[in-house]
Amino acid sequence: MLGKPENPVCPLSYNKPYQKKSSMIQKLSASIFLCLWGIVSVYGNLHPVIDKDPLSIAVEAFDNQTHPYSKERIQKEIQNRNVRWTTHLMTAAGTFYEATGQKRFLDMSEEIFRCAVTAWEKDEQLMRGRDDFFSTRNVAATYKLLKKEGRLKGNEARRIVIRFADLHFEPHFITDHNQGQERALGFTRMYNLFPDAPNANLWKAYTDTMWNFWYANKDVDETATLYSAIHLNDIITIAQESGRTELLQTPEIEQWFSRYLHQQAPSGYMPEYGDDFFFAYFEWIVVFEKMARLTGNASYQEAARKLYKTGLPNLPEKYTKRGWFLRDACEWASIAEIALLPPFIPKTSTPDWGAMVTTRTNREGQSGIPDQLLLTASHVPGTPFVMSDLYAEGSHKHPNLRGTINYFETDCCPHFHGVQRHATDMRHGNTVILMKEESNGFPFGEGSNRWLTNRWFTDWIDFSSSTHISESDPQMRGFQSITFRFQNGQPGEVICIDKVRLRGKAGEKILHDCNTLDAWGDGVELADNEKGGKMIRITLKDNSIHFINLKVAADFSLNDYRYIGCDWKHYTTDDRIKSPMSFKIRAYNKIRKPVEDYVHEEVGVLFNPNIVRTAKVVNKGKDSYGEVILDNHCVDGSTLQRRMVLTAEGILILQDHLIPGEDTEGYTAGSIWQLYQMDERGENWFSTHGGKKIYRDTPNAGQPWKDASGNEIEKRQLLVYFEKQPDRSYGFQKQEYTIQPTTVFSKQCVTPFEPLTFVTVIVPYSIKEKAADIAQSLSARTQDGCSTVQIKNNKEEITVQINMKGSWNVFRK
């Protein structure tokens, strides 16, 4: 542990170009020199190309992304009911004013606020917009700032602000979802501003209930990187603004905070897991800075520094380009917010750590649940690092990807960082899959593409994550209706639906045979099907989102049924072969809770009902070992035993021992890995030259990753090598979803209860090396449960042995 330092470390607020001239700052003038020293010591040398302090960079980016700003433009956004981002913008401008002292930002904040208030007074409907649960906290913060700066006199705008709060008040929205925390922060602020408002006591009761809801578990049931940061920032701010700060300075809370510190990769990036985009940046920087001040632990500020420095040279272009980009502009306000924090006086730091399995508590209060499996020998930048999401439950979860490798980096280069949001199929991960192989393609059969028209499909949603309906039997579930959601279809496109039913261990049970229009809502008609019976036919009138309702309900045990689905097909009026229509099946829970009112899924998803039996990690010197056993992997009764070794050189070896269950006759198993692009290949190896592949960042796709100094990372290429085995074949498949990765695989047919072992070797290498030479230097052999991998690496020979009994060794000569 570190002792108390001689000098405080200052936040970003004391950068010379934007020093605010206030009496408070003048009183602190004696410490300004120490704070300036703190900026250099904490954030180090700035990006050499930009060569500016963080606040200056944020101001320039904010100006670029709100260009050209005008009152008319704001009024248009308000009329379009863009409540979320117009209120974000008024607060962001206010934050930049407080951080820099520049009057122009206060003027912008006031103008946006007054434009909004004027419009809202004329039409209250303009107060509500899509995803506007963020807005109450923004309106309250802006009102408070304008009052403090004398821009609002007396009771000016008081009535409309209170009315805005009341229109957004949902007292039953009790959840530890980020939407709940955003609301709680908003009404904490509203209560502080207007304790005598007619509904103030109700606001206070709501915020108290929300706090107690999550605080009972000292955790939030969130499973996505960015959303976790939103949770944490809101909770910390609520505590500071409601007199609860001491409740966040306990050993239990610091243990919760430390889980996120340990998740950070040695480079500084926050790995992606759950329904998220890579990479979460601004929100985590400010959260780590706030954690540092709450705990006195310098490791949190070091985490903020690493993320800032490694992320800045790699920011997607959308964060810096000139134009009218409200969402991206507002994110820069986090840097300004850091500038407003008090100087940080470190008291302790966390010693360097290695491999671990982090744990968490779920919303039912069950603790000690495996969360993330982390392989690394150290947290020093450049150290190899692997993350595998074991929990995959809670809000924004991707349960079908439990146990996959969802992040891998070496030399500060994120070789794999997920395939982005809404990619929920287990074939989107790096794992072993077990499935019925369809013709013409693996792992996605050519005939299974749901865009294909005039072809019948059968699709399901997994209803196991729905709310419980029985206190005595946790397996009981129930739904009250079903909705079929269609998006991006062509005008005149036809969808046919037949035999809506349940499926599970008890077989199948018809919910609606589709022979009548009974229980169906508007927009459907009966039609003849190919088998001489009837079916439901839906014709899309336009390309907007369409909801078709079916009023059927059922209660059942997951021991009998787990899936809800139907047969369906679609076709267009111009007989095109494919139509990129999105189709989601949605079932509404019998017991509906905030953000838990339904379960839905895109058609075509391959489910994975696996559960974690055991997980463990071990470090030997600079090498790491991880092991996770997953029961019911892909198919009930099947087991995957995954053993991993991550060497000091950054080579990742996966030994996957699969035991197919009883119902796997005719199935194919395959070890798969996602490459963002494939450049070279051999019989059993595939490589990529590396480069950025961030969703919605097309201009930077393929550009090399850079280190914290802005230099291109040389060791950014990756080779995937599969062990050769009889009856096994190797291949690749270019995908159409999200960032369009290439899936490489090793596959073979399985026989129930006959185990098989896949060995996959992942080798990062320099741009100066050749993929064929790397592949030639590799060998892998499995015999009697022991896998031996040999790598000749720069005149050094590395031998890795992994035994199915859990022993492992790395030899070098």
Confidence of residue 8 (pLDDT cuts 50, 70, 90): low
Going along 473-524, which residue ranges are E strands? 476-487, 494-504, 507-512
Angle between helices 178-193 and 158-167 (to 10 degrees): 150
| Average pLDDT rounded to a whole number, residues 355-384 | 96
Nearest alpha-carbon partner for 775 in 729, 723, 726: 723
pLDDT at residue number 29: 34
Summarised one tens digit per residue, pLDDT across range 227-238 is 999 999 999 999
Q: Locate the domains of the chain by residue range.
A: 6-44, 52-216, 356-437+608-812, 451-602
pLDDT at residue number 5: 37
Quickly list DSSP for 655-697. Answer: EEEEE--TT-TT-EEEEEEEESS--EE-SSEEEE------TT-
Provide the sign of the torsion angle of the four alpha carbons 614, 615, 619, 622, taken in this order: positive
Confidence of residue 10 (pLDDT cuts 50, 70, 90): low
Q: Which residue has the higher pLDDT, 363 or 555?
A: 555
- Rounded Cα distance, 118 and 368, in Å: 52
Torsion of CA 466, 470, 476, 482, to 10 degrees: -50
pLDDT at residue number 31: 34
Range 451-602: architecture per CATH: Sandwich (2.60)
Angle between helices 103-122 and 83-100 (to 10 degrees): 150
Least confident of 203-207, 283-287, 417-421: 417-421
pLDDT at residue number 33: 33
Six token digits for residue 417: 């960082």
Token pair 């294909």: residue: 452
The CA–CA distances, whole Å, from 364 to 179, 361, 599 equal 19, 8, 19
- Rounded Cα distance, 458 and 70, in Å: 52
pLDDT at residue number 795: 80
pLDDT at residue number 698: 59
Three-state secondary-structure class, residue 174: coil
Six token digits for residue 747: 């596959």
pLDDT at 225 over 80: yes
Six token digits for residue 298: 């310098």
Nearest alpha-carbon partner for 63 in 100, 113, 8: 100
Confidence of residue 733 (pLDDT cuts 50, 70, 90): very high
Range 356-437+608-812: architecture per CATH: Distorted Sandwich (2.70)
- Rounded Cα distance, 698 and 686, in Å: 24
Round the average pLDDT of the chain to a whole number and report it.
Answer: 91
Query: Which one of 10-19, 170-179, 249-258 scores highest in mean pLDDT?
Result: 249-258
User: What pTM does this model have?
Assistant: 0.91
| Average pLDDT rounded to a whole number, residues 26-55 | 47
- Rounded Cα distance, 743 and 671, in Å: 10
pLDDT at 656 over 60: yes
The CA–CA distances, whole Å, from 143 to 293, 334, 763 equal 27, 19, 55
The CA–CA distances, whole Å, from 585 to 159, 208, 497, 604 equal 43, 36, 11, 11
Summarised one tens digit per residue, pLDDT across range 402-453 is 999 999 999 999 999 988 778 889 999 999 999 998 777 899 988 888 999 9
Quickly list DSSP for 292-336. Answer: HHHH-BHHHHHHHHHHHHHHGGG--GGGTSSSB-HHHHHHTHHHH
Summarised one tens digit per residue, pLDDT across range 189-200 is 999 999 999 999
Nearest alpha-carbon partner for 504 in 609, 426, 403, 596: 609
Summarised one tens digit per residue, pLDDT across range 462-503 is 999 899 999 899 999 999 999 999 999 999 999 999 999 999
Six token digits for residue 464: 């196991």
Q: Above pLDDT 90, what percent of the chain?
A: 83
pLDDT at residue number 703: 82
Angle at 710 between CA 705 and CA 711, to 5 degrees: 70
Peptide bond into 279 cis (omega under 30): yes
Question: Identity (one letter) of the amino acid at 492?
Answer: G
pLDDT at residue number 513: 97
Summarised one tens digit per residue, pLDDT across range 529-546 is 998 999 999 999 998 999
pLDDT at residue number 75: 98
Question: Identity (one letter) of the amino acid at 527?
Answer: A
Going along 326-381, which residue ranges are E strands? 356-360, 369-375
Q: Which residue has the higher pLDDT, 96 or 13?
A: 96
- Rounded Cα distance, 140 and 165, in Å: 9
Confidence of residue 51 (pLDDT cuts 50, 70, 90): low
Nearest alpha-carbon partner for 95 in 294, 282, 303: 282
pLDDT at 3 over 90: no
Three-state secondary-structure class, residue 20: coil
pLDDT at residue number 196: 98
Six token digits for residue 163: 């009315």
| Average pLDDT rounded to a whole number, residues 59-70 | 97
Summarised one tens digit per residue, pLDDT across range 122-140 is 999 999 998 899 999 999 9
pLDDT at residue number 6: 37
